[in-house]
Amino acid sequence: MILLLVAVSAPLGDSCLSRGMTSLPPISLAHPVSLIAAVFTPWIAFGIVLLIGFFASYLTALSWADLTYVLPATAFGNVIVALLSRFWLHEPISFQRWAGIVLITLGVSFVAQGPSLTERPATQAPALAEAMKPAVEIKQGQAL
């Protein structure tokens, strides 16, 4: 469920940002007031909310799965972006881009078949805990 939220919220957020920005005149970093004003337009504000949701779900996914599992799951968002761009934003998509999206999707399917969390050998765990011990002691000492 979390990976689905990760895969959907970013493309939806990006599409909303694109929809909002195309309705505005070009913005320059030399005029930061126009950039700040853009944030308060409805499509852009909704896109930002969706991207905050993406970030929260992404952090949640990283708390229980390896980055090498979570990040490719976000790559499936490329398919969603392409579909939203083509059918909602009416952007043309070349054959080469569609081919790239198919290749990305095939790669994601390979990664999705593996374990979500890498199992570490039991001998590594005590060594890692011992290596982290000074850092934990320092943090506890600073908290006092």
* 128 vs 115 pLDDT, higher one: 115
- How confident is the model at residue 37, as a pLDDT? 92
pLDDT at 130 exceeding the cut of 70? no
Least confident residue range of 22-26, 29-33, 81-85, 119-123: 119-123
> Given pLDDT bands bounded at 50, 70 and 90, which one contains residue 126?
low
What mean pLDDT, rounded, does the chain reach? 84
Span 10-61, pLDDT tens digits: 999 999 999 999 999 998 889 889 999 999 999 999 999 999 999 999 999 9
> Given pLDDT bands bounded at 50, 70 and 90, which one contains residue 117?
confident
HEC readout, the chain: CHHHHHHHHHHHHHHHHHHHHHCCCCCCCCCHHHHHHHHCCHHHHHHHHHHHHHHHHHHHHHHHCCHHHHHHHHHCHHHHHHHHHHHCCCCCCCHHHHHHHHHHHHHHHHHHCCCCCCCCCCCHHHHHHHHHHHHHHHHHHHHC
Please give the model's pTM, rounded to 2 decimal places: 0.74
- How confident is the model at residue 113, as a pLDDT? 77
* 138 vs 106 pLDDT, higher one: 106
**53 CA to centre of own chain:** 10
- How confident is the model at residue 122, as a pLDDT? 61
